[in-house]
Amino acid sequence: MLLNSKIKETIVKYIFFLLAATSIFIVFFIIYFLFNEAFPAFQEYGFSIFESDWSVPREVYKIGAALFGTALVTIGAMIIAIPLGLLSAIFLSEIAPYRVRTFLKPIIELLAGIPSIVYGFLGATLLVTYLVPTFDLLKGISIFAGSLILGIMALPIIISISDDALKAVPRDMKEASLALGATKWETIKKVTFPTAISGISAAVIMGMGRAIGETMAVSLVVGNVMQIPIPPFDIFESGATLTSIIALEMGEATGIQTYSLFACGVILFIIVGTMSVVSNILKERVAKRFKGG
């Protein structure tokens, strides 16, 4: 009987271990098959795959333009989302009265819960038709529209993670500053914000990761033209991102085009996966630091 229950305990333990190890298998499989499918593209083009030259009739598929488009769209989105997100997070965590906070927090979570295809739909209908007369454009579909919609989508992530980071700053630090005669705003500026900076950078990295990896919304408003705009900072022209080009062309892709699209996937995986890991490490470090001190 005793032996029996001991065996059972061990079996249960290993079952749980297997369940936990599933994520290793999944990630391993994803990495293996992604790289496996992308390998022929890297073999064909080598490092010249990062040049900008994508043409279906000539059957040349180099992904530089998508890489550039992703960078441009993400920078635009972050210019919108970082200041607004951080200011709102400070408002929510530090100065909003309790009632306002309990009212606004679920609303911001709601903003995060809207599916990206719905953002894409709103972008393709409302935003694009608004941009045409506002900037005197021929068509509203542009890199700028992609930046705007991604900025709005990255906001709730940046707000809720940096709100957590600001809330995690120990109270006695703030109170020490207040006791020295600093105003609340001076305390936020000189004590709370600098202390929470690693959690806030985790939030920014996470928001950036979301902006880079976001597919449906951006593919519906960015135009999917595999060209670097001329001049490169002309954000009112159509462009393409790594995600949008996969979403649009994977359906009909054959041969080397498929491999190049998988190469886009590999690059996305590497960039966003690294960002996610770094951001989580930062967050854990914050948790440890404040638990200890």
Task: Considering only residues 198 through 227, tell me which ones interact with another protein, judged by CB under 8 A.
Answer: 209, 212-216, 220
Contacts of another protein in 78-97 (CB under 8 A): 83-84, 87-88, 90-92, 95
Number of residues in contact with another protein, rule: CB under 8 A? 94
Return the residue of 44, 51, 53, 234 that touches another protein, per CB under 8 A: 234
HEC profile for the chain? Answer: CHHHHHHHHHHHHHHHHHHHHHHHHHHHHHHHHHHHHHHHHHHHHHHHHHCEEEECCCCEEEEHHHHHHHHHHHHHHHHHHHHHHHHHHHHHHHHCCHHHHHHHHHHHHHHHHCCHHHHHHHHHHHHHHHHHHHHCCCCCCCHHHHHHHHHHHHHHHHHHHHHHHHHCCCHHHHHHHHHCCCCHHHHHHHHHHHHCHHHHHHHHHHHHHHHHHCCHHHHHHCECCCCCCCCCCCCCCCECCHHHHHHHHHHHCCCHHHHHHHHHHHHHHHHHHHHHHHHHHHHHHHHHHHHHC
Binder among 82, 108, 161, 208 for another protein (CB under 8 A): 108
In Å, how far from its chain's centre is CA 250? 22
- Min dist CB 252 to another protein, Å, is 11
Nearest CB to another protein, comparing residues 58 and 267: 267
Which of the ranges 12-20, 40-48, 160-168, 192-200 carries the binding residues for another protein, by CB under 8 A? 12-20
Q: Which of 186, 194, 285, 288 binds another protein (CB under 8 A)?
A: 186
Shortest distance, position 67 Cβ to another protein, whole Å = 14
Residue from 7, 27, 56, 176 touching another protein (CB under 8 A): that is: 27
Are the C-beta atoms of 92 and 101 separated by less than 8 Å?
yes
Instruction: Give the residue, chosen from 46, 251, 292, 293, that forms a contact with another protein under the rule CB under 8 A.
Output: 251
For the bound state, the minimum distance from the C-beta of residue 174 to another protein, rounded and expressed in Å, comes to 14
Binding part of the chain for another protein, among 40-48, 50-58, 160-168, 272-280 by CB under 8 A, reads 272-280
5 binds another protein (CB under 8 A): yes
Is there binding between residue 115 and another protein (CB under 8 A)? yes
As given in the structure block, the two tokens for residue 161 are 């993670």
Nearest to 248 by CA among 72, 54, 102: 54
Could you say which of 7, 30, 79, 180 contacts another protein (CB under 8 A)? 30
**175 counts as binding another protein under rule CB under 8 A:** no
Q: Could you say which of 7, 36, 180, 194 contacts another protein (CB under 8 A)?
A: 36
Whichever of 12 and 58 has its CB closer to another protein, that residue is 12
